[in-house]
């Protein structure tokens, strides 16, 4: 398959997005909530773009292999990545839409546990995505 951006570029994009999340957490600790929300909005948009350009087409192209080979390492890691990433992505979009660029933190405070849960899911998806990248592009796990 010919991608609009390479899987390697997507991995770099995901690492950059994770770095933005870490910076965003620092902003939150410094009570810079609007900047925290804006940076998280940026990450959500980057992930949607990444999904549309790389991850979605890649999943579409490999779904038959995954379904027919669920005991294969590649298939299991892909399923983990898809499950964690999908749940994290949907919840992150929901939180960002619910926030809709408000400067007040009233609505966000109630979603604090959800945001922590999304962070854990997204971190797991990133780890599974990194393993998936290693399985596809290196001889490490032959």
Give dist(CA 140, CA 142) in Å, integer: 6
pLDDT at 101: 61
Statement: residue 71 has pLDDT above 90? no
CA dihedral 6, 7, 9, 10 (to 10 degrees): 120
pLDDT at 102: 64
Statement: residue 128 has pLDDT above 60? yes
First to last CA, the chain: 22
Is residue 33 within 8 A of residue 108, CB to CB? The reply is yes
Lowest mean pLDDT across 51-55, 71-75, 123-127: 71-75
Give the mean pLDDT of the chain: 82
Is residue 129 within 8 A of residue 14, CB to CB? The reply is yes
Give domain limits for the chain.
7-137
Of the candidates 61, 87, 54, 78, the residue with the CA atom closest to the CA atom of residue 130: 78
């Amino acid at each position: 398959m010919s991608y609009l951006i390479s899987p390697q570029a997507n991995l770099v994009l995901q690492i950059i997005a994770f770095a933005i999340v870490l910076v965003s957490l620092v902003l939150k600790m410094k009570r810079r909530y609007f900047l925290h929300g804006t940076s998280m909005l940026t990450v959500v948009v980057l992930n949607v773009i990444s999904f549309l350009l790389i991850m979605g087409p890649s999943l579409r192209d490999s779904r038959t292999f995954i379904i027919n080979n669920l005991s294969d390492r590649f298939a299991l890691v892909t399923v983990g990545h898809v499950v964690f990433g999908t749940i994290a992505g949907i919840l992150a979009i929901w939180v960002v839409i619910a926030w809709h660029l408000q400067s007040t933190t009233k609505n966000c405070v109630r979603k604090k546990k959800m945001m922590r849960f999304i962070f854990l899911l997204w971190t797991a998806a990133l780890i599974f995505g990194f393993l998936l990248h290693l399985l596809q592009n290196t001889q490490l796990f032959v």
